Structure 1
């Protein structure tokens, strides 16, 4: 049930997002294969791009992006289904939990392998009706083509790691999920922090969803906007958390494709070899970017308050501060690793440069360890504040002296 429900949800969200983006019109009945490729990427897999035109052309292509909307939906569904049979248990043996996960992993990897076999196709690239390059390609039967193919080995490996992370986080976040007797003591330290971080990330997704709906209604292009919401909303919302705290990302947009929403990102990143992305550079394009700082200043302390309210009353404020700092730093690390984007397509014919309109690049990379350090500092301060705010509402068991 967990495997069927998880993949069904991911396929549905991916298909809806791609349909909104106009991918249903792809030639050769490629739409199902593109949907499969998106789900493979969302499950942590790897999709390689390739292109050629015989001896006439060479191509360079790479794609490293995770459609986090699809990943998030799949993770929530799989976690819920995995925990459901255990919800009325106080404790569970290590062997039992490992056995349940092993059965889940075998079926998950089998289904992922099936999707990997489907996620491959090739497209012919039109060069224009009146282009002499078209005549040359047709004469020599060497029209440029580009395609993609899911890599089986890396996909199964990273898909297993993705599933391990989902199952472990589900056990840590849920109060009703049983743990092995040896780990029961850990839940007082880890579970409140894990719950608060998941709440923080979901809160940012909700805020981003509201903003996306407003953009779709007021600024037009609803199809493109809903495509971004269904495929990559957390790819925008979660880096916004790090930007609001003061982190910096670097990136570049070149060529005919770019970041579809919000347009301010494309404006900042386009035109330079390596552009700097932070609240200040965003505010130069749109002063509303300073609201990212306000949202972070509200939601991060709210998460700290929630963590403190769910922790034992005997926990001291400095302990809350350290735990919140460590949890937020780890969360920022995960956001930076999963939110990176690298996409590049280049095609040259007869060895002469990139063909006009067929080459481009989109990249977005964080200044990783600086962002993690910022998350640690914010977490410590917010943890102290949350502990003070939660003191009047916490259950009995006050610390003596």
Structure 2
């Protein structure tokens, strides 16, 4: 029963921390202009585990027409904080009782988020382009939309029950699975701790820089989506492009929108980050064999971890927005927009970059240790 209680506490702690980070980010972004912060916090937490949000806007005058949208984006800043808290809470008591704690958490987290999805309903105040004058309209439709909906639209939003339950189940099972692997393979645990340390340093630095140079809104964005930015920069630096695709009558709204080109000055970002991670992992692990063997072994497993991590980040960092018009029982799609990177290319780039960086890191650590050892013997003489 003690481990059941610990599993319940781990689930509650993870969700509370996720809610705290989400609320802080929304307040910094001044999201209260668009809706209630508490309800929006619930939406962000649901999105953070892989759920989606439904938005419906109905024009004034009682016309049987509605604009429906589905927003699918993971605020990975919230996701990773929750995953780290959940993982630490599950692993801290030790290996004994871990299956019980994991099973309890795997049931509790989806149940809590499913309940949240049933209770989360609210309104968003949206500003339409065009302002009724035709200027600044989207694809020439802004004025017409404003005349029907008004310059400000109250749109209802909700969390679909089944997608939220499914996404929460997958999310918690992934975290539990990673915990089980970390217990089975200590080297993986070391790598995860190193990655968590590096990400924490990047987050703290990003918050400081964003707060000083960009203000509260920039700091709020860092809290919510910094991992997406980091993943985007790393993938671009490794040569993996991000693409914007759109279909439907409103796709012209994204004409001319192109992400940054891969390579160039951004190449230094993955070199520095991966090399630092490789050095930290090499310094914290004791591996048998000679210098080249240690470098080869570290490069092999670190390459797999890096490749898998970047492929997963590419999948999780995708953003999609779908809009459709419903009238007289018929639904007509008007926009399907996506921002994504190719996960297979991310896997290959991560394997190559991880192998080179970790191999170099291992050689640097061994050279440093050797120099320290020689200096120590000379001093003792």
Answer whether TM exceeds 0.5 for this pair: yes
3-state DSSP of counterpart to 2:92? helix
Q: Is the 1:308–1:387 contact (alpha carbons within 8 Å) kept by the matching residues of 2?
A: yes
For 1:77 and 1:6, locate their aligned partners in 2 and report how far apart those are by CA, in whole Å: 5
TM-superposition CA deviations, 1:312-367 (whole Å, max 9, x none): 223543332221221111011111011111124466999xxx9xxxx988632002
1:381 aligns with 2:356: yes
In the TM superposition, 1:265-304 aligns within 5 A as 271-272=255-256, 275-279=258-262, 290=265, 292-304=266-278
Structure 1 residue 368: Cα displacement: 2.3
Q: Is the 8 A contact 2:52 2:160 kept in 1?
A: yes
Match of 1:226 in 2: 219
Per-residue deviation, 1:293: 2.1
- 8 Å Cα contact 1:317-1:384 kept in structure 2: yes
For residue 193 of structure 1, report the CA deviation from its aligned partner: 4.2
- Under a length normalisation based on structure 1, what TM-score does the superposition of the two structures give? 0.71
> 1:84 and 1:63 mapped to 2: Cα distance?
36
| Counterpart check, 1:307 vs 2:318 | no
Q: Quote the Cα distance in structure 2 between the aligned partners of 1:384 and 1:166.
A: 28
Deviations 1:68-119 (A, max 9, x none): 1111221222222222222xxxx54xxx432221122222222212211222
Deviation at 1:171, TM superposition (A): 4.5
Q: Is the 8 A contact 2:206 2:222 kept in 1?
A: no
Match for 1:338 among 316, 324, 328?
316
In 2: Cα distance, 1:246 partner to 1:129 partner: 44
Query: Which residue number in structure 2 is paired with residue 71 of structure 1?
Result: 79
2:17 counterpart of 1:17:
no
Aligned to 1:160: 169
d(CA) in 1 for partners of 2:181 and 2:123? 42
Distance in 1 of aligned mates of 2:145 and 2:33: 25
1:244 matched to 2:237? The reply is yes
Q: Does 1:33 align with 2:39?
A: yes
Asked if structure 2 preserves the Cα contact closer than 8 Å seen for 1:63 and 1:343, the reply is yes
* Paired residues of 1:248 and 1:371 also in contact (CA < 8 A): no
Q: Secondary structure at the match of 1:390?
A: helix
Offset at 1:158?
A: 1.8
Q: Is the 8 A contact 1:252 1:272 kept in 2?
A: no
Render the CA deviation track for 1:4-48: whole Å, top value 9, x for unaligned: 221211111111111122222345xx3322111111111232323
Give the Cα–Cα distance (whole angstroms) in 1 for the partners of residues 270 and 353 of structure 2. 10
Q: Say which is worse superposed, 61-70 or 379-388, in terms of deviation.
A: 379-388
Q: Could you say if the C-alpha distance between residues 252 and 205 of structure 1 is closer, same or farther in structure 2, counting changes exceeding 3 Å? A: farther
DSSP-derived class of the 1:376 partner: helix
C-alpha distance in 1 between matches for 2:268 and 2:147 = 58
1:322 equivalent in alignment to 2:296: no
CA deviation after TM superposition for structure 1 residue 246, in Å: 1.9
Change over 3 Å in CA distance of 1:202–1:252 after alignment to 2: farther
Q: Is the deviation greater in 194-203 or in 304-313? A: 194-203
Please list every run of 5 or more consecutive structure 2 residues that lacks an aligned counterpart in the other structure: 1-8, 134-142, 248-252, 374-381
Report the counterpart of residue 363 of structure 1 in structure 2. 338
TM-score (norm: length of structure 2): 0.75
Cα 1:9/1:124, change in 2 over 3 Å: closer
**Aligned Cα RMSD in Å?**
3.6
- SS of the residue corresponding to residue 158 of structure 2 reads strand
